[in-house]
């Protein structure tokens, strides 16, 4: 009996000994995976935490506070004043000046895409070829973009004023006979928006050209050479191969142009003296600033700012959903 117990005990010991090696590696592997996950999330928190804090402090929190303030009739004082609910939003959406500023922004969005896009694409395709002084040309084209909006606006206002440099030159050339016949580039309601579009194109087309040139560097030379060997002309190569491959870069520029045009403020205000004449160049951002700073209608202005934010957000989401969807799906599949 003793032998049997010892034997059974030995068998039990062997069985227990056989299980120990299999359980040890599993526990070690689980601890390693847990440690790896902890380190992984620690790295994510370390690198993204400060950015998230800054984003929440300077973006999310102001949006929430703006939404809260927009429900009050606040004049900028210490007390928020009377709670008016959605009255500010109703008044903003029925304000003829704000509606006119929305139409002006829509015009700027469309004309920026129609004018700047083809112009920048054509210049980028030409400058992508082997030309003398190509680097100097690229620098000259990009200079207007890096010039301060204040400097650019003041400069063009001096040039385009009715008694400015441009009209003086036209008078000397005999385009018109006397100074009284000078063209009102910034005072004629029929042409002032086109004048603004000319200055905006001069200021921002350089960014589009640089973006397109960067995108052209990703077009494989082998594909272009193969098409040329097959007898395709330069224009056919650009239209059938280069421009389609440049599609993602073009769509990114379109996105930036749309958002920038919706939020346009500085150049329009500096150039046309706060939307003159007769609010012809008035924008939504100018409406917000004027109602807040000049008229001290902070609650009303905040409601207009929230409307501007919603318009920008909806435009961005729709563009991402319907225009850049293929690019996003391609990137997701690549990942």
Q: Are residues 33 and 180 in the same domain?
A: no
Q: Are residues 194 and 323 in the same domain?
A: yes
Q: Are residues 65 and 105 in the same domain?
A: no
- Residue 138: pLDDT band with limits 50, 70, 90: confident
What is the average pLDDT value for the chain, to the nearest integer?
Answer: 87
Domain boundary among 69, 84, 115: 69
Q: So what's the pLDDT on residue 24? A: 62
CATH number at residue 324: 1.10.3720.10
CA angle at residue 287 from 282 to 293, to 5 degrees? 130
d(CA 221, CA 198): 35
Which pairs from 181-188 meet CB under 8 Å and 24+ separation?
185/160, 185/161, 186/157, 186/160, 186/161, 186/162, 186/271, 186/272, 186/273, 186/276, 187/162, 187/276, 187/277, 188/277
Q: Are residues 200 and 61 in the same domain?
A: no
In a domain, 78, yes or no: no
In a domain, 79, yes or no: no
Structural domain containing residue 47: 2-69
Q: So what's the pLDDT on residue 281? A: 93
What values do phi and psi take at 72, rounded to 5? Answer: -125, 155
Q: Are residues 47 and 153 in the same domain?
A: no
pLDDT for 278 beyond 90: no
Q: So what's the pLDDT on residue 100? A: 95
Q: Are residues 19 and 159 in the same domain?
A: no
Percent of the chain with pLDDT over 70: 90
Q: So what's the pLDDT on residue 331? A: 57
Q: Are residues 213 and 135 in the same domain?
A: yes
Residue 267 in contact with residue 200, Cβ under 8 Å? yes
Q: So what's the pLDDT on residue 16? A: 44
Whether the ω angle into residue 13 lies within 30 degrees of 0, i.e. cis, is no
In a domain, 178, yes or no: yes
d(CA 209, CA 218): 15
pTM, rounded to two decimals: 0.83
Q: Choose among 102, 109, 153: nearest CA to 283.
A: 102
In a domain, 75, yes or no: no
pLDDT for 19 beyond 80: no
What does the CA dihedral 182, 186, 191, 192 come to, rounded to 10 degrees? 180
Q: So what's the pLDDT on residue 175? A: 87
Name the token pair of 237.
């190569």
Provide the 8-state DSSP code for 187: T
Q: Are residues 63 and 162 in the same domain?
A: no
pLDDT for 1 beyond 50: no
Q: So what's the pLDDT on residue 18? A: 46
- Residue 330: pLDDT band with limits 50, 70, 90: low
Q: Are residues 206 and 308 in the same domain?
A: yes
Q: Are residues 318 and 185 in the same domain?
A: yes
Crossing angle for the helix pair 192-216 and 134-146, to the nearest 10 degrees:
130
In a domain, 82, yes or no: no
Count structural domains, the chain. Answer: 2
Q: What is the pLDDT of residues 199-258, one digit of tens each?
A: 999 999 999 999 999 999 988 889 888 988 889 988 899 999 999 999 999 999 999 999
Q: What is the pLDDT of residues 40-94, one digit of tens each?
A: 888 888 889 899 999 999 989 999 999 999 999 998 877 888 899 999 999 999 9
> Secondary structure of 14-79 in the HEC alphabet?
HHHHHHHHHHHHHHHHHHHHHHHHHHHHHHHHHHHHHHHHHHHHHHHHHHHHHHHHCCEECCCCCC
The CA R_g of the chain, rounded to the nearest whole Å, is: 32
Q: What is the pLDDT of residues 291-313, one digit of tens each?
A: 999 899 999 999 999 999 999 99
In a domain, 87, yes or no: no
In a domain, 295, yes or no: yes
Name the token pair of 121.
């694409």
Q: Are residues 197 and 119 in the same domain?
A: yes
Q: Calculate mean pLDDT across residues 4-33.
A: 55
Give CA separation, 285 vs 77, 102, 109, 184, 270, in Å.
22, 10, 14, 25, 13
d(CA 14, CA 93): 83
CA angle at residue 118 from 113 to 120, to 5 degrees? 95
Percent of the chain with pLDDT over 90: 58
How far separated are the first and last CA of the chain, in Å rounded?
68
In a domain, 209, yes or no: yes
pLDDT for 259 beyond 70: yes
pLDDT for 115 beyond 50: yes
Residue 306 in contact with residue 189, Cβ under 8 Å? no
Q: Are residues 6 and 142 in the same domain?
A: no
């Amino acid at each position: 009996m003793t032998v049997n117990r010892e034997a059974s005990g030995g068998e039990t010991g062997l069985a227990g000994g056989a299980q120990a090696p299999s359980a040890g590696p599993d526990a070690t592997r689980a601890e390693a995976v847990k440690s790896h996950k902890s380190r992984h999330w620690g790295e994510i928190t370390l690198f993204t935490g400060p950015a998230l804090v800054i984003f929440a402090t300077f973006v999310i929190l102001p949006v929430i506070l703006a939404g809260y303030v927009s429900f009050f009739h606040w004049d900028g004082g210490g007390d928020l004043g009377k709670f008016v609910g959605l009255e500010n939003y109703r008044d903003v959406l029925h304000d003829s000046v704000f509606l006119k500023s929305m139409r002006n922004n829509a015009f700027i969005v469309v004309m920026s895409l129609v004018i700047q896009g083809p112009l920048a694409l054509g210049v980028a395709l030409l400058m992508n070829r082997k030309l003398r002084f190509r680097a100097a040309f690229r620098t000259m084209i990009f200079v207007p973009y890096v010039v301060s909006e204040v400097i650019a606006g003041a400069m063009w206002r001096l040039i385009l004023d009715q008694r400015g440099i441009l009209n003086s030159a036209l008078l000397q050339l005999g385009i018109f006979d006397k100074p009284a016949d000078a063209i009102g580039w910034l005072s004629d309601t029929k042409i002032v928006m086109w004048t603004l579009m000319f200055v905006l194109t001069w200021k921002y087309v350089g960014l589009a050209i640089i973006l397109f040139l960067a995108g052209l560097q990703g077009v494989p030379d082998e594909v272009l050479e193969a098409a040329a060997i097959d007898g395709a002309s330069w224009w056919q190569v650009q239209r059938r191969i280069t421009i389609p491959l440049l599609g993602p870069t073009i769509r990114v520029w379109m996105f930036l142009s749309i958002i920038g045009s919706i939020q346009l403020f500085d150049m329009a205000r500096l150039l046309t003296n706060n939307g003159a004449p007769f609010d012809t160049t008035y924008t939504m951002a100018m409406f917000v600033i004027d109602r807040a700073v000049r008229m001290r209608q902070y609650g009303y202005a905040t409601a207009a700012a929230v409307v501007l934010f919603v318009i920008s957000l909806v435009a961005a989401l729709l563009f991402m959903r319907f225009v850049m969807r293929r690019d996003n799906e391609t990137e997701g599949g690549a990942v």
